[in-house]
Amino acid sequence: MTNPTTLRRSLAAAITTDGSMTDPAWRTAIETVPRELFLGDAVYRMGHGERGTLWEPVHRSEMTRTEWLELVYTNDTWVTQVDGIAATDAAEPIYGTPTSSSTLPSLVVRMLEAADIHDGDKVLEIGTGTGYSTAILCHRLGEKNVVSIEYDPMLAALAADRIHAAGHNPTLVTGDGLEGWEDEAEYDCIVATCAVRTIPRSWIWQTSVGGIITATLGGWMEAHGLACLTVGEDGSATGRFTGETISYMLARPHRRPPRSGFYRHSGQSRITTVNPELLQDWTGRFVAQLASPSAEFLGSGGNVVLLDVATGSQAWTEPAADGWTVHQHGPLNLWDQVETALRAWQNAGSPDQSAFGMTITPDHTQSVWIGTPDGPSWQLPA
């Protein structure tokens, strides 16, 4: 019969070998915390259906103990909730958007190492989720130094039970993580396990001077960048992106509002020589999102569709003999904005995100730049 301790050690060894983990203290935590405790009795496996991504529930009761433990200790993200429906409550595959998951352990550790957490640091975790990463933090820092906040009451209750069963009793809060948790401030580190469109002002106020905020910037084009920001005495923050291809679900208050449908309008047409396929590049799409932060990305290859959620403006491209034809309709010329940004990125040498930085001023204006703050820059939405 498969031994969970052996599987944990094998997992820790694997993510050390691939370079995701370098700190022996985090390795000890991965070897110790029982991930099976945090996955419950079912997860979703991603599949494909006629209408897109299909989520198939995988129930523990339908597998042998060995099969279940081997699933648990693969270095994968396992979705545990889709549109608020827990995998344990799903009897058949469903369509929808993941709303909670157990992040792959290597990513958990990469985030924690990027945050430069040290023994004795007090950490606020935004997004308790299943509670697995919370338990990892407790093992390293001690429960008195860990505060974790979860938006979803059902998830928060489940996570609390599992964290307590693992022998830890940190401060657990049910509420809006974008507001932080002032009662336990100040924090040496804030680590977000959800993506945000902008850094909330409360996170800066609740972080000690010299403390670090580690968060993934995301948006409605589903582009992401992991930033580590150091808080200054004047309420400012600055730092750089790690360049890692890390993505998280957007915080629920930052998600795109629903839309009823989409119809392509011809609008005004012109030729563009900027390849729309640049939006398939990890950094290229991130740049496009910076240029049009309220736009949604659709399409693929040379057939790109941008739809502005705020104004209804749209841009779409199609291959042409001498480049690509772009059609723009509405009050915003979306492709003009994206094209200008992509050219600036190309003129800078098309660097990956490790060349990008971010500045938050004392009045909370937020901008992302390439190279230095004086380089090409884009302001984030307020």
pLDDT in tens, 206-236: 999 999 999 999 999 999 999 999 999 999 9
CB 250 within 8 A of CB 296: no
283-299 pLDDT, tens digit each: 999 999 999 999 999 87
325-359 pLDDT, tens digit each: 999 999 999 999 999 999 999 999 999 999 999 99
Binned at pLDDT 50, 70 and 90, residue 269 comes out as very high
Distance in angstroms (rounded) separating the CA atoms of residues 131 and 172 = 10
Closest CA to 273 of 337, 204, 212, 342: 342
Nearest-10 Cα torsion for 227, 231, 232, 236: 70
Looking at every residue in the chain, the average pLDDT score rounds to 93
Binned at pLDDT 50, 70 and 90, residue 260 comes out as low
pLDDT for 323? 87
pLDDT for 330? 94
Is residue 300 over pLDDT 80? no
191-210 pLDDT, tens digit each: 999 999 999 999 999 999 99
Active site amino acids: 101
CA 313 to chain centre: 26
Nearest-10 Cα torsion for 270, 284, 371, 360: 100
Is residue 56 over pLDDT 60? yes
Place of tokens 């990513």: 107
Closest CA to 229 of 65, 357, 321: 357
pLDDT for 273? 86
Place of tokens 């290597």: 106
124: three-class secondary structure by DSSP: strand
Q: Where are the alpha helices (DSSP H) in the chain?
A: 4-17, 24-32, 65-72, 105-114, 132-141, 153-165, 201-205, 282-291, 334-347
